[in-house]
Amino acid sequence: MQVSRDMDAPKGLDAAQHEVHHGPASGLMRWVTTTNHKDIGSLYLWFSFLMFLTGGSMAMVIRAELFQPGLQLVEPQFFNQMTTVHGLVMVFGAVMPAFVGLANWMIPMMIGAPDMALPRMNNWSFWILPFAFAILLSSLFMEGGGPAFGWTFYAPLSTTYSGNSTALFVFSIHIMGISSIMGAINVIVTIFNLRAPGMTWMKLPLFVWTWLITAFLLIAVMPVLAGAVTMVLTDKYFGTDFFNAVGGGDPVMFQHIFWFFGHPEVYIMILPSFGIISAILPTFARKRLFGYASMVYATASIAGLSFVVWAHHMFTTGMPLFGELFFMYCTMLIAVPTGVKVFNWVATLWRGSISFEVPMLFALAFVVLFTIGGFSGLMLAITPADFQYHDTYFVVAHFHYVLVTGAIFSIMAAAYYWLPKWTGHMFDEGLAKLHFWCSLVSVNVLFFPMHFLGLAGMPRRIPDYALQFADLNKIVSIGGFAFGLSQLIFLWVVIKCIKGGTPAPAKPWEGAEGLEWEVPSPAPYHTFETPPEIKP
């Protein structure tokens, strides 16, 4: 990709004057009032990491309680609050904001735009998030505790039989949803309108493509979630009977609505990962991505299919045979475009010139471990076998392979990949490698044995278990503590990198391609005031 532009000469203003008018404000107000995509990107990323640690501490409570049979540390009711809030915090507080942060930072730079298209809305879509999570987390301190009905909050447990924190739960979900929709609108408008001249659709970096498709998914399904939580609210407080069988409602309808949101949601949490991995593997294999066009089509097909598979979460609710067959076939079909993506990645590496910098290590771990998560997903799609797997630790293992060694590993890879661009310094490679190897080993000790626990018959979301599950639970808990502690190394690496280190060149990775590597490191506060022109 050729860029014809003189980066050092702002047009019409001299450099000093330019800084006075357009530089960042100083102090705290810079962060409160900022409309700069880079500042907002950093805010999102820091917020996401804070939530990652918060949700992670809750997971540590869960793993500590499950370290051995019997109730040692917490009451079952509090255990349920931990599983519920852990799920909500990780999904809406850690994974989604991390991707939005990456989108904010990178999309304008990758497409040659000066900023996001709607900067003031960008500020709002970030700043309402801390309030949403303050509401959610404060409910844990209410009399009777926070939400304890699982992140899937199946009615009637979440309506008739829930505590009074339900109102806070519903409002916080509403605010998170509004934030996501605003973020998605911003991404779509930016990509549609602010691409540099010459950047045609099929030249868009894959990270931008995957985020564009993700943004459409968000706009399609977040209102469905908002509808579901509103119905929960009115059922509980205003006497409606959407999900109450006694009043003519249908508890299973809740699950249909929830999973119509929930299944596309799991792809919202993985599609941007595909974009990140498709950027990193070619860089460190020093070879172009194999099958760019089929990658775009595969992403779009996965997004499309994600709308017709929701009931595979509901095979045991008493579905008719036709429904079970339909949803089984559709779910199995998703393996095809996902397989295409994995094969393309392997082909990208094939006969490359591969080196193993830290972003590459995380990306490779992603490919292998996400594929393992894909295999267990395929097994879960087989309806008769799902009768045995459903709601056991097999499922817990499956979605943690997809969401932790999938989504979160890709976010780590992205953070290491672009950290020199963000900070202007190279990170400490030794520490970062330590972080990688500790994470890789511990995450497998944490989640791999869960497959066997599930097959042996351990249901999920139980605070105490039968004796035959004791040994594996102990191993899993040790893996959990180790994985949790390993993430503090990451924090250390990032802080160290912000404070200093070897200055990073504009393009710190030999094989990297894309507009973001054409600008100096750290990226200037305003990047492209006149769009770079991309020559065919």
Catalytically active residues, by annotation = 86, 115, 151, 179-180, 263, 265, 267, 278, 312-313, 338, 341, 460
Q: Which is nearer to other proteins, 67 or 131 (CB)?
A: 67
User: What are the Cα distances from residue 110, in Å, to 35, 205, 276, 360, 523?
Assistant: 18, 7, 12, 20, 12
Least distance between other proteins and beta carbon 239 (Å): 11
Please report which helix (H) or strand (E) contains residue 217, including its range: helix 206-237
Least distance between other proteins and beta carbon 464 (Å): 5
Please report which helix (H) or strand (E) contains residue 497, including its range: helix 470-499
Q: Which is nearer to other proteins, 252 or 506 (CB)?
A: 252
Quote the CA–CA distance of 159 and 176 in Å, as a whole number.
20
Quote the CA–CA distance of 477 and 471 in Å, as a whole number.
10
Q: Which is nearer to other proteins, 127 or 151 (CB)?
A: 151
Least distance between other proteins and beta carbon 289 (Å): 7
Name residue, tokens 């400490």.
Answer: 428
DSSP string over 137-199: HHGGGSTT-S--STTTT-TTTTTTT--TTHHHHHHHHHHHHHHHHHHHHHHHHHHHH-PPTT-
Q: Which is nearer to other proteins, 191 or 277 (CB)?
A: 277
Tell which phi-psi region holds residue 208, choosing left (phi > 0), alpha (psi between -120 and 50) or beta: alpha
Least distance between other proteins and beta carbon 326 (Å): 11
Q: What is the 3-state secondary structure (H, E, C) of 322-352?
A: HHHHHHHHHHHHCHHHHHHHHHHHHHHHCCC
Least distance between other proteins and beta carbon 156 (Å): 5
Q: Which is nearer to other proteins, 352 or 484 (CB)?
A: 352
Least distance between other proteins and beta carbon 437 (Å): 13
For residue 364, the tally of other CB atoms under 10 A from its CB is 22
Name residue, tokens 């508890």.
Answer: 251
CA 285 to chain centre: 25
Residue 201: burial class (beta carbons within 10 Å; 0-12, 13-18, 19+): exposed
Least distance between other proteins and beta carbon 70 (Å): 4
Least distance between other proteins and beta carbon 122 (Å): 35
Q: Which is nearer to other proteins, 187 or 372 (CB)?
A: 372
User: What are the Cα distances from residue 92, in Å, to 81, 124, 156, 392?
Assistant: 16, 16, 23, 23
The token pair at 120 is 């003031």
Q: Which is nearer to other proteins, 101 or 463 (CB)?
A: 463
Quote the CA–CA distance of 352 and 354 in Å, as a whole number.
6
Least distance between other proteins and beta carbon 80 (Å): 7
Q: Which is nearer to other proteins, 196 or 342 (CB)?
A: 342
Helix segments in 66-118, DSSP class H: 76-88, 96-111
Q: What is the b/e burial string over 497-523, where b = at least 16 CB atoms within 10 angstroms of the residue's CB?
A: bbeebeebeebbbebbbbbbbbbebbb
Strands (E), 13-82: none
Q: Which is nearer to other proteins, 392 or 410 (CB)?
A: 392
Quote the CA–CA distance of 222 and 96 in Å, as a whole number.
12
The token pair at 382 is 């087989």
